[in-house]
Amino acid sequence: MDERLLELITQEVLKRVREPGIQKPDDHTDDPDREYERWRVSVLSSEDYLWDITSYDIREKWFIEEPIDQEFLARLKASTPARIGLGRCGPRYRTIPWLRFRADHAAAMDAVFSEVPEELIKELGLVSVRSQCSSRQEYVQRPDLGQKLAEESKEILRSQCPRGAQVQIVVTDGLSSSAIVENAKDFLQAFKQGLSQEGLITGTPIFVRYGRVAIMDDIGEVLQPEAVAELIGERPGLVTAKSMSVYMCYRPRRGTVESDRSVVANIHAGGLPPAEAGAHVASMMKQILTAKASGIRLSTGREG
């Protein structure tokens, strides 16, 4: 870096640090550690210093210098969230696209390894159980255990949930707890309203921690519902870490195959809005119960 440029940057940083409200503490204060922490927090909360890189929409920008057809590039980038037309600095990414890549990757990792808060589970009125996994780490390493309920969870369902409901609602974190936190509340509000309008009766809704899609089969064995609608966090990617799916199945039991499940995917703010998805899935549940079939059987008109 040019020495003159480095000097200018240093002077600007020192100037901002000395501005009122974010001044560096006096080293001779009675409590230097406390004063330094107060100063550090004030600096980090200042808009001059804190910038959320994830708020920067790379689809609205292009970094290719003097593109041959700027209008075409703008249309192309507006049509997809894919990372295209980012330009380069020598053989490397430019700084903003690289930082955004790292930020999106970090968000995806957080979505996989974070937990759905207990406060949200209580707010949604869900009976909380778990799979046979004991941690997020085990959940990632042992998909088979995420497909089965823990024995104590089966007892909880038997004691707290009625059997034989028309529609059993199941919420599970899946591979993105962030997706459930972001979308479940709006989806469930619209979904329950839609089911009520269709005259369908729901059982006590359930939350399964560390669950996979097929855990609905174990729930079906215990509660014997006519149909299950399972909300689950999708595998996060670099476009979004907050996408949710809803799997539906007529009479799920052990031995149910994946082709017997219907699914609505890509539920998030940048895809299918959760409230709209809730209304749509409610109408699909009506079709499933009327046809007594789901998945391929529903689309081919064959009863289960």
- What are the Cα distances from residue 55, in Å, to 48, 58, 96, 108, 217? 16, 9, 12, 15, 40
> What does residue 261 show for φ and ψ, rounded to 5 degrees?
-105, 140
The pTM assigned to this predicted structure is 0.75
Helix-helix angle 177-197:274-291, to 10 degrees: 60
* 173-214 pLDDT, tens digit each: 999 999 999 999 999 999 999 999 999 999 999 999 999 999
Buried b (16+ CB within 10 A) or exposed e, 153-171: bbebbeeebeeebbbbbbb
Measure the CA angle with vertex 251, ends 250 and 256; round to 5°. Answer: 90
* 116-154 pLDDT, tens digit each: 999 999 999 999 999 999 999 999 999 999 999 999 999
* Max CA separation in the chain (angstroms): 82
Where exactly does CATH 3.40.50.11240 map onto the chain? 118-300
More confident call, 91 vs 80 = 91
Q: What is the CATH number of domain 118-300?
A: 3.40.50.11240
